[in-house]
Amino acid sequence: MKTLKAGTRLKSAVCDTEVMVIRTRPAAMLLCCGGTEMIAMDGEKLGTVPDEAFAQGTLVGKRYVDEQDATELLCTKGGKGSLSIDGQALAVKQAKALPSSD
């Protein structure tokens, strides 16, 4: 478990996914990709197969948020694993609707 800071870059230990922390809460959390804890950019990969329960994939350029919308990650490189915090899957952040100009 790590306390994340905005601007931190991490990569998956089991696939090609890389993320940047955009916003986070000041608490220790377990950030995983493919069911395995994410590692520093200079860390050593552990394997190449994500856990089947966390293998929905990540898309480059998408922002991922937790249920409380307290932690936001930007995917800088896509991969086969999906993101989770403390075992809860992260969802793609939806764009806000613009007001009509009528």
Q: Per-residue pLDDT tens for 46-59?
A: 777 888 888 899 99
Model confidence, pTM:
0.87
The pLDDT tens digits of the residues spanning 57-76 come to 999 999 999 998 899 999 99
Residues 6+ positions from 24 with CB-CB distance below 8 Å: 4, 5, 6, 70, 71, 72
Tell how many helices (H) and how many strands (E) occur in the chain: 0, 12
Look up residue 97 and give its amino acid: A
- Structure token pair of residue 18: 């890389």
